[in-house]
Structure 1
Amino acid sequence: MRKWEKSAAAVLAGLLLLSLLAASGGRRAEAFTAANADDAMTDFIDVFYDPAAQYFYTNSDHLIHPEHAHGPDGGLYTDFWWGAQLWETVMDAYERTSDPAYRTLIDDIYAGFNAKYPDMMANAFNDDLGWWALACLRAYELTGTAEYRNRGSFLFDRIDEEWDTSYYGGGIWWRRDAHDPTVSANAQKNVATNAPLVMTAVKLYQATGDSAYLTSATQIYTWVKTKLVSGSKVNDHLEGTGAGTVVDWDFTYNYGNYLGAAVSLYEATGNSAYLSDANTAATYAVNNLVSAQTLLYEGENDGAGFKMIFARNLNRLRVIGGQSQYLNFLQQNATQAWNHRRTSDGIIGSDWLRPTGSSYVQSLAAAAGASILQLTPPDNYTGYIAGNGAYEAENARRTLVSGGGMINESTQGGYTGRGYVAGWNTSGTSLDFYVNQNSAGTRTITFRYAAGAGDASRYVRVNGAYVANNLVFGSTAGWGSWNTVSLTVPLNAGSNTIQLGYDSTRGNGNFLNVDILSGL
C-alpha cells in the first residue's frame, strides 16, 4: 500500500496500480495512455504527499531550499497558493477517475491546510485567497460538501470588498494592505487576482442562483478586458498613479485565467462573445507561448505552475465551449510531459521539452505535469513528439553571464512569433533549444537573424559536441532586415539540445538578433 493511502485505509482497499517504469539507461518512447495518467498521479502523490501532516512537501527531496522557502515549517511544506493548485491537481484526478482514494484526499488536504493556516485572512494577498476560493467552489461541485461552498463564499466576499474605483477605474487590488500607488510599490491590480474571481463568482451563481454573483462576475470581467487586454494580448497588471501603466508581461497563466473567466461567463450566459474572447486568448498562447507547440518553460518556483493553469482552462474551453481544435495541442503537451519524466521516481519537471534532471523537483512543477495527464483524454500515441519544428528564440532557454544582455525585443518589424532575442554580444552566453525528434538522422536547421552591425559569428553545439566552431551570420542591411543561415546537424531520436553560443575565442562579438530556429 502506498504511504499516502495509509491514512484512508478503511475506504481504499488498494485501488490504484503502482507505476511500472522502465529501468533502462536510455529514454524509451511511450504512449500517453490512461495507465500513464494513473502512474503519473500515483508517483506525484507518493513523492510529495505527507499523509501524517495531510500536506504536500515543497520539494521532492523533502528538504528546505532557499529558492522557495515560503510555506509552513520554514518552507518544508508548500505555501498558500501552491496548496490550492495541488489540491486542484487531486481534483483533476478525481474528476477523471471517480476514485474514492482521491475523494478522501480532497477532504484530507483541506483539513491539513486549515491546520497549517488556521486564519486564512492573515494572508494579505487577494490572489492567494482567490485561488482557494476557486478551489473550494470546485470541491463543492465535485463533492456536494457545504463547507466548501461556505468557505468559497466567505473568501469571495472578502476579496470582492477590495473592488475600488479610486485608481484604474475599478478592479480588485492585489494586496489588501496596498491600495495607494503613491505610497506602496505593491499597489497594483492584475489578471491573477481578478480573472479567477470571475470564475469563482460564476460558480457561486450556479451554486446559489443569486444573480448578484453573476453581476459581479460580469463587472470584474469587463474591467479586465477593458484595462488589461489589448487585441489578442493579455497583459499582466496595472501600476502607478493616474490611469496607471500597463505592464505587458506574457505569462501562460494570465491567458489561462482570462480565457477561463470568459468560458465561465459563456457557460452562465450563452453569450458567444465570451467564447470569442476565450478563443482569441487561447490562439495567441498556443501560437506564441510555445516551442514547437510545447508550452514554454517559465522558470522555477511560481512560474513552473503557470502552464498548469493555462492547460486546465484550455481544457475547459475545449469541453464547455465545444472547441475541439485544442485537443491535439493538449494531447501533444501531455505526451511531452510524460515522455520527459524522471524514470527513477516518475516525477515530471518544469520543462516539458527536456528530460527531468536528477536534482530535486518542486511540487508545483511536478503537479503541472501530473495535471495535464489527468485533464487530457489519452490518444494512445506511441512515440516522441517533434511538434511543428519551429523554435522561437525568445522562448528558448538562455545561459547568461553578468551583463550578458540577450533581451526579448519586438521593436523591429518582420519577426515571427512574439519577438526575437536582441542585444547579444557577450562571451559565455548562449541560446539552448531543446529539440525532440521522432527518429535519429541528420537535419538541415535554419536560423533566422538580423546582423545590422556587420558580420557576426557564433558556435553551434548539438548534444554537447561542436558542429560549427565559427558559423558566420552575414551582415544584413539593418536590424529590420532578416536573413537566414543553415547547416546540417546529427540528431538523436527523442531529446536533443542545440546550443547557439558566443565564445570570444571562437568568433567575433558583433551584435546579433535571433528570431527563430526552424527546419526540424
Structure 2
Amino acid sequence: MTAEVESAQRRAAAAQSALHARHLTPLGGRVPCTRIGRPAWPMPGRPLSRERLTMSWNYWWQAHLADALVDAVIHRDDRVAADRLGQLFRGIRIRNLGRWTNAYYDDMAWLGLAAERTARRTRTRPDRSPVARLLAARMHRAWSPELGGGIPWRTTDTFFNTPANGPAAILLARTGDAARAAAMTDWLHERLLLPSGLIADGFWLRADGRIDRVDSVYTYCQGVALGAELEVYRRTREAHRLDRIDALLSATAERLAPAGVIVGAGGGDGGLFGGVLARYLALVATDLPGDDARTASIRDRAGRIVTASADAAWAGRAEHDGLPVFSADWTRPAVVPDDGGDAAHFSGGAVRSSAVPERDLSVQIGATMLAEAAVAVTIGSPEHIVSSID
C-alpha cells in the first residue's frame, strides 16, 4: 500500500469513526437492532426534552449516511459499517412509519440509490434490491412532460428541479431504465442549463401556466447532472453526452472550485452539497469509459478536484476526543460545536443550519463522503465492477 493510499484510507476511516461515535444511535435511543443518524452533535436539551424530541430526522440525510456506510464496506471491508448499514435501513423504515416512501421525490431518489448500492456492492443486504425497485418505479411514474417536466420536487408541488431529476435519473439508469434516464438528462440540459455552463436549481410551473425559473446554482446540482450524464453515456457512448460531461466539469471547476477546492454551502441541507458533488466527480474519475487522451484528461481533472478538496478538509479539521470534526467550508478551519445556540431546524421544505454548522450531521456526512470519494480516486475503485440490478 502506498503512502498516498494509506493516508486516504486512514482519513476516511477516521471520518467514519466520528460518525459512529457521535451520530449513529439506536432509534429513540433504545430500539434494538436499529440505528438512526442523530441530526446534531451535541444534541440540544436533555433526554426526552421537547428540544430533542421535536428535532426533525431528515430522511435524505439518512439516505446519504447509508451511502457513506456502503463506501466503508467497499473500500475497507468494514464489518461494523456493514452491520450498522442493515440496522440503519431498519431504523429508517420504523422511523418512517413502516414505509420507504415520503412526499419528496428527491428524498426517495437518494434512498433508492443507497438501497441499490447496498444490494449491488456490499452483498450483505440483498433484500435492499426490492427497495430500490420500489423507489425507482416512483421516479418513473412521476415523469410529467405534460407539465413541462421532469419530475417534481415533491408530490404536492409543480416545482421541477435538478435535485429530484438528477438522482432519479442515476437510479433509473442503475435499475435498468436507461431510456427514461436519458430523457431526464436531456431535460436537464435543455431546460436548466445556464449561460455559465452550470445547471440551475429548477423552475415553478404556476397555475396560470407561467414558468418562474429559479436560477440559483448549487454544487450538488452539478454533481447529480454529471452523474446522470455519465450513467447514460456508459450505456450509449453518444458523443454529445461526453461533450456535456466535459463542459459541465469545466464550468464546475472554474466557478465552484476556483482554487481547486469545492466551495462550501453552510450547514443544514447545504452541508451535504459538496459531498454529493465530490461523490459524482469521483464517479467521473473512476468510471468514465474510454482510452483516448480526452477522456483521460476528464478523469484526471475530476479526480484532482476531489483529492485537493479532501486534503483541504483534512487540513482544516478540528479534533475532539481524538476524532475529527470537519468544517462546513473546506477552505476554513473547523469549529468544535457545543450544545449552545440554535440547532438545525426544518423550515419551508428545507433544513436550516445550526448556529455552528459543524454541529450538523449533514456537514459531517458530507466530509465523510468527500473522504471516501478521495479513496475511490486514489485506489482507482470503480463503481460499476458488479453489474446493476437486472
CA distance in 2, matches of 1:282, 1:258: 10
1:59 is matched with which residue?
40
1:437 is matched with which residue?
none
Q: TM-score, normalised by structure 2?
A: 0.78
1:131 CA drift (Å) = 1.1
Unmatched segments (≥5 aa) in structure 2: 1-5, 289-295, 339-358, 379-390
Alignment map for 1:476-515 (pairs within 5 Å): none
1:215 CA drift (Å) = 1.6
Structure 1 counterpart SS, 2:243: helix
1:191 CA drift (Å) = 0.5
Alignment map for 1:285-300 (pairs within 5 Å): 285-290=252-257, 292-300=259-267
Structure 2 counterpart SS, 1:175: coil
Alignment map for 1:298-317 (pairs within 5 Å): 298-317=265-284
Q: Deviations over 1:384-421 (max 9, x none)?
A: xxxxxxxxxxxxxxxxxxxxxxxxxxxxxxxxxxxxxx
Higher relative CO (CA 8 A, sep ≥ 6), structure 1 or 2? 2
CA distance in 2, matches of 1:119, 1:161: 22
Q: 1:158 aligns with which of 119, 123, 138?
A: 138
Mean CA deviation greater in 369-378 or 111-120: 369-378
1:106 is matched with which residue?
85
Q: Is the 8 A contact 1:34 1:378 kept in 2?
A: no
Indicate how the Cα distance of structure 1 residues 243 and 215 shifts in structure 2: closer, same or farther if over 3 A, else same.
farther
1:273 CA drift (Å) = 2.5
Aligned residues: 329
Q: Is the 8 A contact 1:96 1:375 kept in 2?
A: no
Structure 2 counterpart SS, 1:282: helix
Q: Deviations over 1:150-184 (max 9, x none)?
A: 1111112123222223322x311111122xxxxxx
Are 2:179 and 1:215 equivalent residues in the alignment?
yes
Q: Deviations over 1:88-111 (max 9, x none)?
A: 111122221122222222211111
Q: 1:229 aligns with which of 186, 189, 193?
A: 193
Indicate how the Cα distance of structure 1 residues 146 and 39 shifts in structure 2: closer, same or farther if over 3 A, else same.
closer
CA distance in 1, matches of 2:305, 2:185: 26
1:49 is matched with which residue?
24
Are 2:182 and 1:191 equivalent residues in the alignment?
no
Q: Is the 8 A contact 2:147 2:205 kept in 1?
A: no
1:363 is matched with which residue?
361
Residue type matched to 1:58 in 2? P
Structure 1 counterpart SS, 2:156: coil
Residue type matched to 2:127 in 1? E
Q: TM-score, normalised by structure 1?
A: 0.59
1:353 is matched with which residue?
331
Are 2:287 and 1:320 equivalent residues in the alignment?
yes
Q: Is the 8 A contact 1:64 1:74 kept in 2?
A: no
1:311 CA drift (Å) = 0.3
CA distance in 2, matches of 1:370, 1:94: 13
CA distance in 2, matches of 1:158, 1:64: 38
1:122 CA drift (Å) = 6.1
Q: Is the 8 A contact 1:78 1:363 kept in 2?
A: no
Residue type matched to 1:98 in 2? D
Unmatched segments (≥5 aa) in structure 1: 1-30, 179-186, 206-212, 381-520
1:376 is matched with which residue?
374
1:264 CA drift (Å) = 0.7
1:328 CA drift (Å) = 2.3
Structure 1 counterpart SS, 2:331: coil
1:279 CA drift (Å) = 2.2
1:121 CA drift (Å) = 6.1
1:335 is matched with which residue?
311
The structure with the greater share of residues assigned to strand is 1
Indicate how the Cα distance of structure 1 residues 266 and 379 shifts in structure 2: closer, same or farther if over 3 A, else same.
closer
1:347 CA drift (Å) = 1.6
CA distance in 1, matches of 2:376, 2:179: 38
2:153 is matched with which residue?
174
Structure 2 counterpart SS, 1:161: helix
Structure label with greater radius of gyration: 1
Q: Is the 8 A contact 1:173 1:193 kept in 2?
A: yes
2:10 is matched with which residue?
35
Are 2:171 and 1:200 equivalent residues in the alignment?
yes
1:229 CA drift (Å) = 1.5
Residue type matched to 2:189 in 1? K
CA distance in 1, matches of 2:333, 2:324: 11
Residue type matched to 2:25 in 1? D
Percent of pairs identical after alignment? 19
